[in-house]
Amino acid sequence: MKMHFFKSTIIACSVVASVSLPAIALDDSGVPRVRSRQFDVTYSVNANAAPLTKVELWQRVEGSDDWSRFGIDEDLASPVAYVADAEGLHELFFVITNSAGTSGPSPTADTAPHFSVFVDFTEPIIQLQLVRSYENAKGQTLARLEWSAMDLHLDARPIGIAYRTVGETDWKIAKAQLPNTGLYEWSVPDGVSGKLEFRITVTDQGGNSSSVISDGVKIGSTPQPSARALPPVDERNGMPADAIEVSGANLSASEQHRLNQLIKRGKSLRENHDDTAAERLFRQALAIEPKHPEALVNLGQSLFALGRYEESATAFHSALTNSPKHPGALLGLAETLINEQQFDAAESKLLDLVASGRHDATTWLRLGDVAAYKGQSFAAHDFYSKVLSSPSPEKSSFDPIALAKARLAELAIENESKPETVNREVNRN
């Protein structure tokens, strides 16, 4: 009787941001999105259930079957102040007690939450790489924009592009809700000329946004003699349709077999740390097909292991020439640049990697390393924390999660020894 009576007492749960009203938004399924670690969770019970003797709030983070008790509402009155220790979907469950008993047992793996809220309190990171104007073969004026943007919680179309004439204050929308391909070509409308500034904005699922603004770009002028018409871009993936050359397409069957065998044997030697022998096999493969990305990337990795960093960088650059988003080439070049202390260039390659959809532990670890080398402890902490919930390499002696934990411990010691002012190098609205 007690259980049956009290199970009906909880009639509503809702979330209210304690920071500001704009911190609340609803996704397509009606789940609130909050861009703050702290917010209030309100609850209400039937009037005949009073007085209450205990209110417990339980929590479960997305991806876990286990519930943990967040805390007890000491004043037995709504709301409960909630603090999220991680981003993502938080499921909440109340266990309420009065003189007649409790509303039910503690939640288990199969228990449905009373309420869910998506928490996202980190601003996206965006970097502008290129803005240029040119005329294509049809005489149309185009503006080509390239960027890198990253965040763990981006929607399918998180990018917006706006423009204005230099000296003006109001922005005009060029394109909204673009996919995060890192590249877009905008057809400049008739009548738009002069020097334009472009603003690229990325917005995450929590409503956090970051923007970057270009310098003035001259539109509608006579093309420079060195300018060439760039190939058309497929908006779905951002890659020029006629810019990709298939390596090995003209090889005979025997040459292709020989090429594959050399690369396979070279990889085996690399796994056994015999990079000198591996280098020879990869160079033999490249003698058959000089532009083969896998052979170039593996050659770069062997050269890096041998401490020949300049040659390693050359191999990775060559791989990227024909395969601009090759993840192994981007990561390898970034690691080479880190070793050469070219941290801004390394960061750019790692952001390209993230923008292409690579969200693995090694990428976040290297971004954390770059931030740490640049003295950006707050950003380094964010990146190292992302490592802990990201996929790790399988069957490898390299353990990015262990390294991230060690580096987080080092940062904690540094933060205890001296205060630090945090500056984020990104323009925001």
Domain spans in the chain, listed from the N-terminal domain onward: 2-119, 125-219, 253-417
The arithmetic mean of pLDDT across residues 335-346, rounded, is: 87
The arithmetic mean of pLDDT across residues 44-57, rounded, is: 82
pLDDT above 90 (res 137): no
The arithmetic mean of pLDDT across residues 110-136, rounded, is: 85
Given a contact cutoff of 8 angstroms between Cβ atoms, the answer to whether 46 and 17 are in contact is no
Query: 101-110, 319-328, 333-342, 349-358: lowest mean pLDDT where?
Result: 349-358
pLDDT recorded at residue 357: 67
Model confidence pLDDT, tens digit, residues 181-207:
888 889 999 888 889 999 999 998 888
pLDDT recorded at residue 257: 78
pLDDT recorded at residue 68: 92
Other C-beta atoms within 10 Å of 215: how many?
Answer: 10
pLDDT above 50 (res 141): yes
pLDDT recorded at residue 40: 85
The arithmetic mean of pLDDT across residues 390-408, rounded, is: 74
Q: Give whichever of 83-97, 212-226, 346-360, 404-418 has the largest mean pLDDT.
A: 83-97
pLDDT recorded at residue 63: 74
Query: 67-81, 123-137, 160-174, 406-420: lowest mean pLDDT where?
Result: 406-420
The arithmetic mean of pLDDT across residues 342-364, rounded, is: 81
Cα distances (Å, whole numbers) of residue 286 to 141, 252, 262, 294: 40, 15, 10, 10
Model confidence pLDDT, tens digit, residues 303-328:
998 888 889 989 998 888 877 878 88
Q: How confident is the model at residue 382 (pLDDT cuts 50, 70, 90)?
A: confident
CB-based contacts of 351, cutoff 8 Å, min separation 6:
125, 127, 148, 149, 150, 367
Burial 162-192 (b: 16+ CB within 10 A, else e): bbeeeeeeebeebbeebbbbbbbbbebeeee
Q: Under CATH, which number does the domain 125-219 receive?
A: 2.60.40.10
The arithmetic mean of pLDDT across residues 161-166, rounded, is: 94
State the CATH architecture for 2-119.
Answer: Sandwich (2.60)
Q: How confident is the model at residue 416 (pLDDT cuts 50, 70, 90)?
A: low
Q: Exposed/middle/buried for 195, CB within 10 Å: 0-12, 13-18, 19+?
A: middle
The arithmetic mean of pLDDT across residues 219-238, rounded, is: 41
Indicate if 125-219 has the same CATH topology as 2-119: yes
pLDDT recorded at residue 5: 38
pLDDT recorded at residue 19: 34
pLDDT recorded at residue 18: 38
Query: 236-240, 246-250, 373-377, 386-390: lowest mean pLDDT where?
Result: 236-240
Out of 1.10.10.10, 3.40.50.300, 1.25.40.10, 3.40.50.2000, the CATH code matching 253-417 is 1.25.40.10
Model confidence pLDDT, tens digit, residues 229-255:
334 444 434 443 333 344 555 667 777
